């Protein structure tokens, strides 16, 4: 039987964070070692740390917040397709030549380029191409769909305008291309512009 595979980044003090964002920290406010009856922890972190989803409100003042998103986008049986693309300066339509995407609802793209944040911004014209294929959720093993120093966030805005939601910071190393069950649910953050997720997949069949 296929097992659930964790494709999330571990959250700890070494988790990479976006310049200017709040990095991860954890402490015990109540400690059994210090005489308390329980251990109670407190965490501080950006909503875009590690494996996370972007709500449209992240880059659109009038966009939907986390609590307003359709949860069906982030969980499904046999409807997440994992593909690998060759190294390039960016991800555009050409990167998917020879890959059948018709009817794909949730697309997870393995680039292997996490360590080089200057590479693999998503080209804005990819958004309508994917939307026409049926894609509603785009997940990548990258910290963002736009360049590190981007101010206009063209890929974020174009994807959102085409009805495609964004899942970033996945760990797809060693994952075979193919169909998977997916669960990557956000927290119920009422005012959230983003949310960390525990993303897991299971090979279909």
| Segment 22-49, tens digit of pLDDT | 999 999 999 999 999 999 999 999 999 9
pLDDT at 120 exceeding the cut of 60: no
Tell me which of 52, 58, 156, 165 is the catalytic residue. Answer: 58
Helix (H) or strand (E) holding 43: strand 40-44
Element (H or E) spanning 181, and its range?
strand 178-183
Give the residue, 67 or 112, on which the prediction is more confident: 67
Look up the pTM and report it: 0.93
Q: How many helices (H) and strands (E) does the chain have?
A: 2, 11
pLDDT band at 87; cut points 50, 70, 90: low
Residue 74, pLDDT above cutoff 90: yes
For the stretch 157-175, pLDDT in tens is: 999 999 999 999 999 988 9
Average pLDDT over residues 133-158: 91
For residue 58, indicate whether it is catalytic: yes
CB 94 within 8 A of CB 123: no
Residue 59 pLDDT class (50, 70, 90 cuts) = very high
Cβ atoms 14, 7 nearer than 8 A: no
According to the model, what pLDDT value does residue 122 have? Answer: 87
Question: In this model, does residue 205 exceed pLDDT 80?
Answer: no
Q: Is 65 left (phi over 0), alpha (psi -120 to 50) or beta?
A: beta
DSSP 115-156: T-TTS-PBPTTHHHHHHHHT--EEEESSS-SS-TT-SS-HHH
- Burial letters 20-50, b for 16+ CB under 10 A, else e: eeeebeeeeeeeeeeeeeeeeeeeebbbbbb
């Amino acid at each position: 039987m296929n097992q659930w595979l964790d494709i999330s980044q571990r959250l700890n003090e070494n988790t990479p964070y976006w310049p200017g964002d709040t990095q991860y920290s954890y402490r015990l406010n109540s400690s059994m070692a210090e005489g308390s009856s329980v251990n109670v922890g407190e965490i501080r972190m950006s909503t875009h740390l590690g494996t996370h989803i972007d709500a449209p409100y992240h880059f659109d003042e009038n966009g939907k917040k986390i609590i307003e998103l359709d949860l069906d986008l982030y969980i499904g049986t046999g409807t997440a397709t994992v593909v690998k693309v060759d190294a390039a300066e960016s991800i555009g339509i050409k990167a998917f030549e020879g890959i059948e995407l018709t009817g794909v609802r949730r697309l997870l793209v393995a680039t292997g380029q996490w360590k080089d944040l200057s590479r693999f911004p998503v080209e804005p014209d990819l958004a309508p191409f994917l939307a026409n294929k049926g894609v509603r959720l785009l997940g990548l093993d990258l910290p963002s769909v736009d360049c590190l120093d981007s101010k206009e966030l063209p890929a974020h805005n174009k994807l959102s305008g085409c009805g495609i939601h964004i899942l970033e910071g996945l760990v797809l190393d060693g994952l075979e291309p193919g169909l998977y069950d997916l669960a990557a649910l956000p927290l119920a953050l009422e005012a959230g512009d983003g949310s960390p997720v525990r993303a897991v997949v299971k090979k279909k069949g």
